[in-house]
Amino acid sequence: MDTGDLATWVGSGFAAIAAAATLWTLKSQRDQIGEQRAFIGEQSATLALERESLRAAAEDRRWAQARQVRMRHHKSGSTTDAEGNPVRDDQWVVTVMNASDAPVHAVEVRFGTAYLADEVFELAPTAAHNWGAELGDRLMSPVHLLGPGRIVRFCSQRWPAATVHNNRPVLYFADDASARWMLDSYGKLEEVPPQ
């Protein structure tokens, strides 16, 4: 049996070593690719969590100023007519305070679905600690700019008691980033979608 010459044996040996080195290199590259995919997956998950955290922080910042605009309201009692007879008509008196550190814009109070404030007054800045006891300048509705720490009072027209109850006040305003908000008489704050 002819086993071949030395050159054939040496060539076959080098071919076997080259094949083994190729297989080892392929396995090593597959392992590296697998590690890289795992690393990329972990990084993607970390980035997704960071992105969600940033989104939540931005959402909190977006709501922060709106949450600091406060509204107090009450019904004002009966009055008398020209002859001194008691009149059972009531009205809403709504006091709005901007407790944020930035101005709010286009501040208005609507009563029910159709009524705007009959009178609007700025309250004296010295009375801020008690929501303003002294009436200041008369303003137009909507109040175009309500600065930080400022207070305004909106008064509805006078209605019979049942009508007053059915026309509860709702505050509308735009924050410093121009987002429009609505605060109802029950304290529910909502962003008003752009029209």
pLDDT digits (tens, 9 = 90+) for 64-120: 999 999 999 887 765 666 676 656 668 889 999 999 999 999 999 999 888 888 899
d(CA 119, CA 160) in angstroms, rounded, equals 18
Q: How many CB atoms lie within 10 A of CB 123?
A: 22
Residue-wise pLDDT for 7-55, tens only, equals 888 888 889 999 999 999 999 999 999 999 999 999 999 999 999 998 8
According to CATH, the topology of domain 69-191 is: Immunoglobulin-like (2.60.40)
For residue 193, the 8-state DSSP code is: P
Closest CA to 135 of 77, 104, 95, 100: 95
d(CA 1, CA 110) in angstroms, rounded, equals 109
pTM of the model: 0.67
d(CA 71, CA 92) in angstroms, rounded, equals 12
Helix (H, G, I), strand (E, B) or coil at 33: helix
Six-digit token string for 154: 């909106």
Map out the domains of the chain as residue ranges: 1-67, 69-191
* Element containing residue 138 per DSSP (H, E): strand 135-138
Helix (H, G, I), strand (E, B) or coil at 107: strand
d(CA 79, CA 55) in angstroms, rounded, equals 52
Strand-pair category, 189-191 with 180-184: antiparallel
